[in-house]
Structure 1
Amino acid sequence: MTSIHYRTAIVDGHSLFYREAGDQDAPTVVLLHGFPTSSYMFRDLIPLLGDRYHVIAPDMLGFGHSDAPSVEEFEYGFDALADLTDGLLEQLGVERAALYVQDYGAPVGWRLAVRGPERVTAIITQNGNAYAEGLVPEFWAPVRAYWADPNPETAAPVRAALSLEAIRWQYTHGVPDVSLVSPDTWAHDHALVSRPGNDEVQMRLFLDYRTNVELYPKFHEYFRTSQVPLLAVWGANDEIFGPDGARAFLRDLPNAEVHLLDGGHFLLESHVDEVAARIRGFLG
């Protein structure tokens, strides 16, 4: 059995929670979670990697067990989340690592990679998008309207993503056997985004997500120039980041491995053993 340690570190005055497992002298894998969850999404994957790798899974600021200052106290955005993640890894002495990115973890990971390409040994992207083709139009239309004109009317359908039903949908949609997905997942996430003031934190990040799309060409240039080893293991039935987003990596990284599995946005809930096997084979 792999022991998982639950730790906190102070980075720029903020307490960041992270899960850690494995031998610290082994190659490091950093797991970067998406919306609306936390490192909790990796609770089953960490033991499957920790026997061979040094695994670190942080909670981003505003998520999980990390601090969640109000929008008046902290300027939320993906640059800021990347800064804090970078600071945490520096404090932990992580000089080089493979990155696993999902959903929000992707734009954080892409920023880290662009800043220090020599520090990234490989990338595993599980429904972590970097291409316009991956943005499913039906899901993103209200978000784009909010980007274009942030006001109470355009904010309303975006804010609905914080509801229990919307979070449950993220976990269950596209999963052939929904009984594999624990209801603890959406109950856990909904409780945390329902903390006083956290809704405004999430709305700020929804608004700032437009900066990620604007940076796509810069991220593509990083892929082309670095030719970083990349594994895309993707829930093919995801209607947030569709499978065309996985295939698009081959345009800039022709040697990338792309595997489309019969699952949804949170693929680890139904396919953790297969994902872990793909990662171990790829990194090995």
Structure 2
Amino acid sequence: MDAPNPTHPRRAALALLAGGTIALPALQAARAEPAQAKSKDRPMTTVRYLTQKVGEVDVFYREAGPLDAPVILLLHGFPSASHMFRDLIPELADRYRVIAPDLPGFGQTKAPPRGQFTYSFDALADVVDGFVDALGLRRYAIYIFDYGAPTGLRLAMRHPERVTAIISQNGNAYLEGFSDNWGPWQAYWRDPSEANREACRASLSPDAIRDFQYGPGSPPDLLSPDGYELDIAYMARPGAEDIQLDLILDYRSNVELYPAFHTYFREHRPPLLAVWGRHDQAFIPAGAQAYKRDLPDAEVHLLDAGHFALETHAREISAYIREFLERRLVR
């Protein structure tokens, strides 16, 4: 995607880093996320911060809600982590068991370095699959956003009987969903040369994260800096950019799987809610509407928000989710 030239990460972000990761107390202070939150008349919500071993990967995750409640699996996207759900989790946890893992290469999840672990979307799906099994989750709705979409849809194709519903928030599965800003990435897919790889590095810069990923379509007075500043800090860790460049190249495998995703939709008919920031600079509203081609009963809502719609519209999105799942959750 086109983006401003890279700049050096700020000292404040680097000050959070210790040994290539961010300690949990510093992480919580950086994002200013309370352990408990109250919404309307719903009870206070306690969010638990846990780790689950999956092979060589230590998967960090957030969990809230009753252990015997229906499960919602929240899958984040690029360049973020489960902290993007910090406002949504308390909105849903009174009625649902809400679980949000950090994918390998992101956030607080610890995975082997490049060369010892393959950073591909198949590998991300493998880890999430193992994570779900380790937690004993047999039925769950999936919230898919950005990179979480091809990861979650791989999981759904493997275990269609487990998926009770899909919520796609700017989680693309159709060619129509691509904007015109994918030129450098698509060039890298066609020709994985070193020059094309380096051309994608601008997408990882602090300016690109703040001004391209988060900024467009987000009301400035509602957009907290917590999310993008933490993402910038994560990207500044040693080796993080090369992991992301590997995933950028492998994104072409997701496009190749689109016909298989569509077949899954038609054959298994999962209830699907698409709630989309209409001002997304990467995935445009046509990607949300396209779901109705294979799932005519899909429900589509467009918000006056950007790519990271939860940063400004968590309350609205949670209301759509609660109403949708109340009517259509497959139990």
- Write out per-residue CA displacement over residues 137-168 of structure 1, whole angstroms, 9 at most, x where no aligned residue: x2111111011111232123311111000000
CA distance in 2, matches of 1:272, 1:184: 15
Indicate conservation of the 8 Å contact 1:31/1:58, yes or no.
yes
Instruction: Give 3-state SS (helix, strand or coil) of 2:317's partner.
Output: helix
In structure 1, what is the Cα distance between the partners aligned to 2:304 and 2:289? 15
Decide which of 245, 267, 270 is 2:309's aligned counterpart: 267
The answer to whether the 8 A contact 2:58-2:111 is kept is no
Q: Could you tell me how far 1:117 is from its partner in structure 2?
A: 0.5
1:142 aligns with 2:163: no
- 1:205 maps to a residue whose letter is L
Q: In 2, distance between residues paired with 1:200 and 1:154?
A: 13
* Alpha-carbon distance in structure 1 between the residues aligned to 2:224 and 2:206: 14
Residue 109 (structure 2) pairs with residue 70 (structure 1): no
In structure 1, distance between residues paired with 2:322 and 2:118: 37
Q: Is 1:201 matched up with 2:235?
A: no
RMSD: 0.8
**Is structure 2 residue 208 aligned with structure 1 residue 158?**
no
TM-score by length of structure 2 reads 0.84
Counterpart AA for 2:150: P
Select 1:105's aligned residue among 134, 142, 148: 148
Structure 2 counterpart of 1:50: 93
Q: Which has the larger radius of gyration?
A: 2
Quote the offset at 1:68 in angstroms.
4.1
Amino acid at match of 2:209: I
The question of 1:116 aligning with 2:159 is answered yes
What CA distance in whole angstroms lies between the structure 2 residues aligned with 1:115 and 1:14? 21
- Which aligned runs of 4 or more in structure 1 are off by greater than 6 angstroms? none
Residue type of the alignment partner of 1:35: F
Q: Any conservation in 2 of the 1:123–1:231 contact (CA below 8 Å)?
A: yes
1 CA distance for matches of 2:297 and 2:304?
23
8 Å Cα contact 1:135/1:242 also seen in 2 = yes
Report what 1:211 is aligned to: 253
SS at match of 1:254: coil
Query: 1:245: which partner in 2?
Result: 287
TM-score normalised by the chain length of structure 1: 0.98
For 2:266, which of 191, 205, 224 is the aligned residue?
224
- C-alpha distance in 2, partners of 1:239/1:62? 23
2: CA distance, partners of 1:84 / 1:56: 15
Q: Is the 8 A contact 1:68 1:198 kept in 2?
A: no
Equivalent residue pairs, number: 282
- Match for residue 4 of structure 1? 47
1:255 to 275, 297, 304: 297
The 8 Å contact of residues 70 and 198 in structure 1, kept in 2 or not, is answered as no
Q: Is the 8 A contact 1:98 1:121 kept in 2?
A: yes
Percent identity between matched residues is: 57
| CA distance in structure 1 between the partners assigned to 2:128 and 2:147 by the alignment | 13
TM-superposition CA deviations, 1:91-133 (whole Å, max 9, x none): 1010010000000000011000000100000000000000000
How far the C-alpha of 1:185 sits from its partner, in A, is: 1.3
